[in-house]
Amino acid sequence: MRRSGVLLHPTSLPGPHGSGDLGVQAHFFIDWLVSARQQLWQMLPLGPVGAGNSPYMADSAFAGNPLLIDLQELQQQGWLSADDLVTQPDFSSSRVDYPRVKPWRMARLELASQRFFTVLPQRPDLAQEFSRFREQHAAWLADYALFKAIEEQHPKLCWNEWPAALASRDASALAAARRESAARIDHWCFVQWCFERQWQTLRERARGSGITLMGDVPIFVALHSADVWANPHLFQLDASGQPTAVAGVPPDYFSATGQLWGNPLYLWQAHAETGYAWWIARLRRALSQVDELRIDHFRGFAGYWRVPSDALDARSGEWVKGPGLALFQALKGALGNLPLIAEDLGVITPDVIALRDELGLPGMSVLQFAWDGDPMNPHLPHNHRRTSVIYTGTHDNDTTRGWWQDADSSLRQRVCDYFGNDGESGAALIRAALASVAETTLLPMQDVLGLAAGHRMNTPGREQGCWEWRFDWSTVGPEPAQRLAESCERYGRLPISNGGESYGSEA
């Protein structure tokens, strides 16, 4: 079935409280996707933002981002007042000002938590629902909430810098911490319960509207995370909890010195000895929230770039064999067929292609990467595979208009020669993505809106100023949805319920 959708992280949505969230604007965006006759909403990882405000550096692979919680819904529940939500007048509608937004939002969650626990004794229905949530998610929530409670007592310290008994998870020290921090543990469980309630409501809205939700699973986790603290034996750490090597990629399209991500690396043999239990739990959790998953940095499962922990950049790394097929066999055995998309970008070697094809996973093609002059470039439209997922650009790329504005004359000439025109390349790339033989096309919202430079979501290797982009409906108007719907009709990508046909699909 031919289909298309839009890439937009919920933080980029409009809203009065400094960042997009799971509230009315997220529900309206689903309606907008329906009006544009789309079938997919892809977003970035849903976990708490970490270093540089990146959703790929969460302090938990299982928790939801507290900044996505809809505060107005908490007001409707009676846990916040109207006065609590008088927004600071200088919150930006075009970017998330994290240094101002995060403390303001987190303070409101504190107020809501206090009032919730005040009324809880008189609300047995709420008490039962909250208790059930804690029991259902205890496998990750107990460690996460304790991690957050201890973190509050040792601000700005990584867990491996905490008092030794807590860092090493001494049983008596953890028991004492649970007793002493019981109220804070309750608070962090409340925050996650709010996220989960609101997320599942949004998911039901999407399902009822015929919109498939596509999530994103980062391959790595942050060193300062509940996952590494609770499972140090699963990572390449020394006796003090410091990484012996870290993650990154060699020199690539984005950086001549490679990208030094700094995440701890997995000790894959230890994962294998558990039957990959942590990964199974991780994907089970992710698939309880979305319908399909983009699995980030897929090539790292075939072979990953191991960089010495004291390296200044990623050039001194080396390729090391990953878990390969064994991991995915374990996942499939536990979870059934996996609705995954392999993010197979970067330095791709034959073993990566072999693993992807052995698993029967769709890969990705990005039209902005297609113009190096090689007619066999896999990102060129005539080389697209039916099973690929086509993008004009991803969250790591500039907007297509911005990319075109910065392109040199030789690249522009190759693009114009290919399409046989000298017009606006942004529109040409969108048409090529939708016209592609590939069954699935995903367009960044910035490209749907035709936005130029200055609206980029992320610049790889840049530590500040990323993940902040937002839009406002007042600048949109009806034209983008109408254009997108007409293009999907032209290229056979309409939802079947909206009059489209499933060309080439099996009966």
pLDDT of residue 503: 35
- Residue 156 falls in which region: left (phi positive, over 0), alpha (psi -120 to 50) or beta: left
Distances in whole angstroms, Cα of residue 308 to Cα of each of 246, 265, 406 = 6, 11, 35
Candidates 252, 291, 296, 489; catalytic one = 296
Q: Which of 241, 322, 237 is nearest to 276 (CA)?
A: 322
Catalytic residue flag (residue 396) = yes
Residue 151 has pLDDT above 90, yes or no: yes
| 296 flagged as catalytic | yes
Query: Mean of the pLDDT values across residues 25-51?
Result: 97
Query: Tell me, what's the pLDDT at 99?
Result: 95
119-128: pLDDT as tens digits: 999 999 999 9
State the DSSP code for 95: B
pLDDT in tens, 95-111: 999 999 999 999 999 99
For residue 58, which of 193, 211, 298, 223 has the smallest C-alpha distance? Answer: 223
Tell me what pLDDT residue 496 has: 79
Res 500: pLDDT:
46
Catalytic member of 343, 398, 447, 468: 343
Specify the DSSP class assigned to residue 225.
S
Please say if 351 is a catalytic residue. Answer: no
Give the mean pLDDT of 225-234.
Answer: 98
According to the model, what pLDDT value does residue 309 have?
Answer: 92
Is this model's pTM higher than 0.85 or not? Answer: yes
Rounded to whole angstroms, the Cα distance separating 38 from 23 reads 20
Q: What b-and-e string marks burial along 480-492, b requiring 16 or more CB atoms within 10 Å of the CB?
A: bbeebbebbeebb
Which of 170, 252, 396, 489 is catalytic? The answer is 396
CA–CA dist 176, 320 (Å, integer) = 41
- Split at pLDDT 50, 70, 90, the class of 423 is low
What is the pLDDT at residue 280? 98
Residues 6+ apart with CB under 8 A from 267: 233, 234, 235, 236
d(CA 226, CA 100): 25
Q: Are strands 303-308 and 245-249 parallel, antiparallel or unpaired?
A: antiparallel
Q: What does the block give as tokens for 331?
A: 């996942």
In this predicted model, which residue has the larger pLDDT, 252 or 195? 195
Indicate the pLDDT class of residue 422, thresholds 50, 70 and 90: low
pLDDT tens for 317-350 read 999 999 999 999 999 999 999 999 999 998 899 9
Report the pLDDT averaged over residues 299-304: 96
- Report pLDDT digits (tens) over 442-451: 999 999 999 9
Structural contact between residues 143 and 137, judged by C-beta atoms closer than 8 angstroms: no
445, 196, 148, 187 alpha-carbon torsion, rounded to 10°: 130
Q: How far lies 383's CA from each of 189, 195, 370, 378, 412, in Å?
A: 48, 42, 10, 5, 20
Evaluate if residue 217 carries a pLDDT over 70.
Answer: yes
CA-derived radius of gyration, the chain? 23
Q: How many residues does the chain have?
A: 507
pLDDT at 90 over 90: no
Sequence spans of domains, the chain? 1-213+477-507, 231-338
Judged against a pLDDT cut of 80, whether residue 245 lies above it is answered with yes
Separation of alpha carbons 334 and 277, rounded Å: 9
Per-residue pLDDT at 424 exceeds 70 = no
In 3D space, the residue among 444, 463, 464 whose CA is nearest the CA of residue 455 turns out to be 444
305 pLDDT higher than 80: yes
Give the range among 41-55, 84-98, 165-179 with minimum mean pLDDT.
84-98
Reported confidence tier of residue 497, pLDDT bands at 50, 70, 90 = low
Across the chain, mean pLDDT equals 94
Query: Greater confidence, 143 or 86?
Result: 143
Per-residue pLDDT tens over the stretch 461-477 = 888 899 999 999 988 98
Q: Which fold has domain 1-213+477-507?
A: TIM Barrel (3.20.20)
The pLDDT of 383-407, averaged and rounded, is 96
